[in-house]
Chains A and B, each alone.
Chain A
Amino acid sequence: MSAFLGPLDATGRVPPQQQTRVATFLLSCHAAMVRQLAIALALQTKAAWHTELNSQLYRESEIVSLLLRATSWAPDPELLFLLPSWETAWLPRPTEGVADRAQAFIIDMAALGHALHAVIRPAALLPESGPLLDPFALALRKIEFESNRLIQAQILFLKSADLLPFRSAVNAAVESRHAQVRKLWDDMLSGIGVERGIDR
């Protein structure tokens, strides 16, 4: 086990098997965000949120598109079992303790987005002497950099005065999504010989 992707292949790339597993996980969760944002945008009645939701939708779409192009794919039969479990995990689950059903869904969507952008640090998987110009490595760096900005919308919303009456429920929802994403991400990495937090 190592804290980083690799060992790099002869051309200095992250091995395609690892690229495939990491990219599929990221595609799964960011595509789920695209779907949820599209629905939220269609249903959202607060005009002030349209700008941010629209921006989030297209930046999440960019991540999906980037991964599709930048990844060196390899056959991975285990994905037949893994992918459905990941897709199930991203399904909306209305936040408990919030009576307004639509608001409960929106809080969960923001909680999931917060967890994806906070917990998943794909660039931190690259070894120190890692590939600088490899498309997959560049994509991981881009995704992590954009995540730091994307999460700001979730932070502003989840900490907003509107949600202060539900602070405990909101906090519990976000912590729960964090724990879920952290476990799935760590399990996925463990399956390709990477363990976060060691050798650093």
Chain B
Amino acid sequence: MPDLVGCFMPFLAVGSYRIRYELDGPEAGPAYVLVNGLTQYAELWGGYRDALMARGFRVATFDLLGQGASDKPALFISQDDQVAALALLIDRLGDAPVFLGGISFGGLIALRYAIDHGDRIAGLALMSTFAELSPQLLLLGNALRTGLILGGTGYLQDLLLPMNLSDAWLGPQLGNLEAIKRQGWLTNDVYALQNLMESFLEFKPLTPQLHSIGVPTIILNGEFDFLTPRAVHDTLRLQIPDSALVIIPRAFHAFTLEKPALTAHLLSGFAEDVLSGKWKGDRSVWIAPENPGDPLIPFPRGHDHLRAIPAHEVSP
């Protein structure tokens, strides 16, 4: 295998760079590939790996270029290279159906993959994701980059934690936050994070290409997501034909960290529905249950899902 260059953990070769990945679960089973958010690393999907494997899935996780144990290009990271790395990993999975999920920045990479290689996947799960930079998101991104430059990874974490997680999660952790931040601080290098952020300098909106995504797509959005609010997810819902938007109650941007059991259940349920032919996207809007395993609830008819107060829908 010419692209296996590691000894203890497997690596993929993408040009001159190495991508660390992990592959677990039954080889014959349908596969889930999970793509990290900007400041994440593959180990953060550990709970998903176990939950999805228990439902018969093979699970692939990896560190993007610039993250964790993958190579960190010194000056430039192109999103095209991230998509190429993802394509190499998916190529390793053989002929079994592949479901692709990504959170935030990772969702964007998954989205780009689905646009370019839609025929290779059976389903797409977009979590806290966007297809274009709204003015608010652009300015927030710039501010976060400035925070990283002036205060390092620790300050970026200080900004992201309260922005992306709920009081219910943060409250019990207040005395332990330094320990929680430490692993991310050790794993992330400032210049590499900055390169990842600056890969948006050449970013072009993906919205005009979304209609070409023909695979079933579930869009998961935290009820209180401040960083990527409902409207940016609604763009995905409206443009991707076979999609459904599911709102995660009481959740913020980082609900994959805060509600792993619920999210893993939603991901496996989506894939099982697709495989059994039960999935109907119809650009519908749903509310996720509070507890894993409970049924999804249709968003109340006649109310505007883009509003926080129960406003009546206005016809366009």
Contacts and interface: CB of A to CB of B under 8 A. Distances in A.
Interface of A: 114-115, 117-118, 121, 124, 128, 144-145, 148-149, 151-152, 155, 158-159, 170-171, 174-175, 178, 197, 200
Given A118-B189, A197-B69, A200-B183, A174 B75 contact: yes
B186 A178 contact: no
In the A-B complex, the 10 residue pairs with the closest CB atoms: A118-B191, A174-B74, A148-B152, A148-B190, A178-B74, A175-B74, A174-B75, A171-B75, A124-B186, A200-B186
A151 B69 contact: no
Nearest to A171: B75
Contact of A149 (B73, B74, B76, B150): B150
A114 B152 contact: no
Contacts of B75: 114, 155, 158-159, 170-171, 174-175
A124 B152 CA distance: 13
Contact of A121 (B73, B76, B189): B189
Contacts of A178: 74
Among A118, A144, A148, A175, residue most surrounded by chain B Cβ atoms (within 10 Å): A148
Contacts of B69: 197
A25 to B, nearest CB: 19
B187 interface: yes
A200 B191 CA distance: 20
27 contacts: A114-B74, A114-B75, A118-B191, A118-B192, A121-B189, A124-B185, A124-B186, A128-B182, A145-B152, A148-B149, A148-B152, A149-B149, A151-B190, A152-B149, A155-B75, A155-B194, A158-B75, A159-B76, A170-B75, A171-B75, A171-B76, A174-B75, A175-B73, A175-B74, A197-B69, A200-B183, A200-B187
Among A118, A151, A178, residue most surrounded by chain B Cβ atoms (within 10 Å): A118
A46 B69 CA distance: 40
B308 interface: no
A121 to B, nearest CB: 7
A128 B179 contact: yes
Contacts of B183: 200
A28 B192 CA distance: 25
A97 to B, nearest CB: 15
Interface residues of B, number: 19
Contacts of B190: 118, 148, 151
A170 B14 CA distance: 20
A23 to B, nearest CB: 21
Interface string B182-216: 11011101111010000000000000000000000
A149 B194 CA distance: 12
Contacts of B187: 200
B74 A115 contact: yes
Nearest to B148: A148
Interface in B149-171: 149-150, 152
Interface in B205-234: none
A107 to B, nearest CB: 12
B74 A118 contact: yes
B114 to A, nearest CB: 30
Given A128-B179, A128-B182, A197-B69, A151 B191 contact: yes
